Structure 1
């Protein structure tokens, strides 16, 4: 399976525009990327405040070839219906350092050290940041960070609990539900290990205690 195929499925599509880029609602919000209910994780941007249940650490274990795809994501919404989101790819080093700084890019597929950030105000097109950095630090089960523009100014801050979501090949999980295609065109499947019962997923959860 090509690694880029899964990143494309996880991340949003965009159309070109100078500086901050516009993305359509259909591209920006897929079935898995709808805003989460408001909760303990908080984002502050200018005069707007957004929230979500948690910052999410998401891992996909694939067998062919053997690889672990990992990202950190936050999908938050405001009381007025506005949304703010980021998707940041991380690698195994993040599990030990608990810190990552990523460069913001206006693209659909990303790799380690890169992040996609977008936000939307009610009744306005979604906007994608195209330059800047996102800094993330995890302490125990708490995540916090900030987004800076190219000029170094703070564009947004966020903090909240970190939760671990992990998916594995069906054979790894006894009594697993029907497998979900990870890449329909290539036939790769995985299932969510919601209880984090497999050694691989449990090790990830243990890294954030």
Structure 2
């Protein structure tokens, strides 16, 4: 199945390094980031897993849970964690899903049905498309999908930035402009008449064009 923005994230049961979970129950009332890896003991992914462990408090501050998945068995995940701690200074402090039968990779359309049902004997290049980031809201809807090549480490600071934007725009009738960061001015939704916007956004509204009106970040 193709995963599109606004779709309900496919639910599943899986064994993880922190025990068995049902994905939707594990998310609960939180946001979630599910990020995938083509194989254990790969260099770029090693740096990513370590970085996510280091910045986990930033995700927690935003009510976001982190969970990783790699198409290898849990025993390999646990051995890999030692390498990650040694080289990156932080071992994964969040669950890692084992997907040795490729079920979840195929459920999330990261591998085709023809990929078979075993990670055994598959190389990282065989699984090169298992390089996704899914951000899922408390409503279990997919809010963001990013796909990276194997050679490029993921920018998880950008994931945090987008989560800031999505959480802000879910609460207020605004959207965020290019390169927005928390505290920057935001865009008033076109559906709100200017007179109403000036009443609603008491910090002021600047009309650049009738369809482009800016107001200070209402959350600050």
- In the superposition, the TM-score normalised over structure 1's length comes to 0.26
Of Structure 1 and Structure 2, the greater strand share is in: 1
- In the superposition, the TM-score normalised over structure 2's length comes to 0.25
